[in-house]
Amino acid sequence: MSGSALDPKTAPVFPMAARAAMKDGQLRRNVRHATDMIQAKRARVVAEMPDWQELREAGKQIRQHTMENLDFYLEEFEANCTRAGGVVHWARDAAEAQQIIVGLVKASRSDEVIKIKSMTTEEIQLNSALEAAGIHPYETDLAELIIQLGHDQPSHIVVPALHKNRQQIREIFRREMNLPKLGERPEDLADAARIFLREKFLRVKTGVSGANFLIAETGGVCIVESEGNGRMCLTLPETLITVAGIDKVVPRFADLEVLFQLLPRSATGERMNPYNSIWTGVNASDGPRAFHVVLMDNARTEILADAEGRQTLNCIRCGACQNACPVYRQTGGHAYGSVYAGPIGAILTPQLQEMHHAQSLPYASSLCGACYEVCPVKINIPEVLIHLRNKVVKQNGPLNIEALAMKTMGMIFLSEQRFRAAQRMGRMAEAPLVRRDEKGAGWIGWLPGMLGGWTKARDLQEMPQETFRDWWEKRGTHGS
């Protein structure tokens, strides 16, 4: 996959991008292997929780309550963070957030930043904005480093380099770190990354992070991670800039009791994240001297205003739905044309675009429900997908083949007479396409137009000579 940014405004429609992605056998094997492994780990640690369903319900209630009172909790967070010495900024959209962050980095008199993995910074393409302003960002999360050095794009919310295997990662490190003799054992790769990053941690004076949670009650910010790079970025720089979507707020410190159980188990199959950092404002004797939080809307208010789409904002970015999704497992993340891939991406991306782009994504699902089943905060993703499909249908209007066909079929289903007539007509219409197989059964191996998608890989049996209705009527009303 190319290094050009994943931008829903210019991305090809999902079926086209998926077809291209599925030609890459290596990618599919990598995605399959990684998602299988994380799913198995998740299943093990979820099974050991006797109250998992109650925890999911509690997680849902916390998130839902927060969204219903978002204005209140955001202001509470702002007041408490400010009181603790943080500076809160508000950004309407991606451009405004970029502008504020670039300004803050420049004010910190640094031309480089160390970064903690953050989907929000991916969403707003912060790295390109920083580079355009002459600021060099260093990704410090191992997978993000692989993506950055490989001029690649993230394909998973939690495991952004999941589409790469060890050998491919070694090649990237060999080339970009100038290490021709680098081995391919995990410890070789980790050592190389550690040496490469350690120097940046000690030198760079400005850090940029996202946030897992913003705690309204205390004004604290929380980041969970596995590698310790986050802890370095949060403690070593003189200036720390955090950017977070306004959906990241939780009411109370105690709410983390629920979320800290749900998130690591769902995301990486761990009982607890190795590093759980919470910091509140600044402290004269320790950590960054200056702390800024950029609270970004970027269409979240629009999503909040839609009663049926709103639950999308409950997401805590665990990626469990991606691992469980049979569509994502075939295509990998890049096919979704957005940094948010998989089922959550299929509902989040079009809404972040206010339904102006990415309208093929709500259809990138068989509605099998595996995503809903694993979601730690019980987001009914299939329900939101259907809701968004309805929005797309309304946008497309009544004058297209699909809409006309749907309307016609709706009319047929409403009347017994029309239904019987349609069955007779169907048998006549299909006749020229039907071929007999060796057993004498009639099959259709080719269909025209849109329906041709069906006959690419499947045959279709001809309509039966005797319908269920005919058979039922022949038996008499009460059967025998």
Name the site residues for other proteins (rule: CB under 8 A). Answer: 14-15, 18-19, 22, 326-327, 330-331, 362-370, 372-373, 383, 386, 388-393, 402-403, 406-407, 409-410, 413-414, 437, 443, 445, 450-454, 456-461
131 closest CA partner among 116, 111, 115, 148: 111
Of the pair 88, 327, the CB lying nearest other proteins is at 327
Residue 89 CB partners (closer than 8 Å, separation 6+): 100, 104, 292, 293, 294, 295
Of the pair 284, 307, the CB lying nearest other proteins is at 307
Q: How far apart are the first and last CA of the chain?
A: 63
CB of 86 to other proteins, least distance (A): 43
Of the pair 180, 448, the CB lying nearest other proteins is at 448
CB of 3 to other proteins, least distance (A): 25
CB of 373 to other proteins, least distance (A): 6
C-beta separation of 363 from 341 below 8 A: no
Degrees, nearest 5: CA angle 171-176-180: 55
Q: Report the alpha-carbon distance of residue 72 to residue 77 in Å, rounded.
A: 9
Phi, psi of 437 (to 5 degrees): -90, -175
CB of 320 to other proteins, least distance (A): 14
CB of 135 to other proteins, least distance (A): 40
CB of 331 to other proteins, least distance (A): 6
Of the pair 207, 362, the CB lying nearest other proteins is at 362
Of the pair 217, 459, the CB lying nearest other proteins is at 459
Of the pair 331, 351, the CB lying nearest other proteins is at 331
Q: Whose structure tokens read 């071929």?
A: 435
CB of 66 to other proteins, least distance (A): 25
* SS3 of residue 41 by DSSP: helix
CB of 50 to other proteins, least distance (A): 20
Phi-psi sector, 269: left (phi>0), alpha (psi -120 to 50), beta: left
Strand order through the sheet with 213-215: 249-250, 213-215, 220-225, 275-280
Q: Report the alpha-carbon distance of residue 157 to residue 144 in Å, rounded.
A: 11
Of the pair 174, 389, the CB lying nearest other proteins is at 389
Of the pair 325, 377, the CB lying nearest other proteins is at 325
408: its two tokens: 């016609």
Of the pair 151, 407, the CB lying nearest other proteins is at 407
Give Rg (Cα) of the chain. 26
Residue 8 CB partners (closer than 8 Å, separation 6+): 337, 338, 349, 350, 352, 353, 357, 358
Of the pair 195, 441, the CB lying nearest other proteins is at 441
Q: Whose structure tokens read 């940014």?
A: 5
C-alpha distances in Å from residue 215, one per residue of 71, 246, 369: 14, 12, 31
281 closest CA partner among 3, 83, 127: 83
CB of 442 to other proteins, least distance (A): 11
217 closest CA partner among 66, 88, 352, 362: 66
CB of 13 to other proteins, least distance (A): 10
